[in-house]
Amino acid sequence: MLNSVVKNLDCINALINYFTRLPGVGYKTAERYAYKIIEADKDFVDGFLNAVKSVREKVKLCETCANFAETGKCNICQQRGGKSIICVVKDPRDVIAIEKSNSFNGTYHVLHGVISPLDKKGPNDINLKSLIIRVRDEGTSEVLIATNPDVEGEATANYIASLLKPSGVKVTRLAQGLSLGTNLEYADEVTLGSAIANRREI
């Protein structure tokens, strides 16, 4: 009998369930978020709802590189349109990560995913066709493939390289080696192997 009342209200449970679908959020955390929403002042909730709606309405994909954009072209394509080097990344977060490194000033091409047979994602499920067209039309001199150094990222990089080979464009890949501050003892064999193979003179 006691159990009949041992629960949150249905509408609270519904909100908790939505919060658990955000990345890395478990039930207890979702419950805390839901209670925050219930107890927050009206301004916060209205602002939050508007922010969600606004993001859904305003964020489009750049017609050239498929990065997030509020207008037809993203900021980067607008400012660096004429560059002849294209950096290929998995998603828009990677664009921001690379921009923060302050080491690249070409344009990007966002795949919105990688080839992953386990997730039933093939070459046609990512934004790849438009890359081939861009390389042809923009007279690109180099394509730097900056997918993650994991199984899917490597497979995708190799696939793109084979696609681009006929066009004669130079295709490069991010270097693999030791990260800053790594302890040699704990580096994995593959990374250490790459670091040795790609050793440089100082």
Residues 163/175/111/188 CA torsion (nearest 10 deg)? 110
Report the residue from 66, 68, 160, 169 that binds a copy of itself according to the rule CB under 8 A: 68
Angle at alpha carbon of residue 71, lines to 103 and 85, rounded to 5°: 30
Site string for a copy of itself, 16-55 (x = CB under 8 A): -xx--xxxx----x-xxxxxxxx-----xx-xxx-xxxxx
CB 198 to a copy of itself: min, Å: 26
CB 143 to a copy of itself: min, Å: 20
Report the residue from 79, 130, 141, 198 that binds a copy of itself according to the rule CB under 8 A: 79
**Which residue type does 17 have?**
N
- Is 94 in contact with 85 (CB distance < 8 Å)? no
Strand order in the sheet with 85-89: 107-110, 85-89, 142-145, 170-173
What does the binding site for a copy of itself look like in residue numbers (CB under 8 A)?
2-12, 14-15, 17-18, 21-24, 29, 31-38, 44-45, 47-49, 51-56, 58-59, 68-70, 75-76, 79, 91-93, 96, 99-100, 102, 105
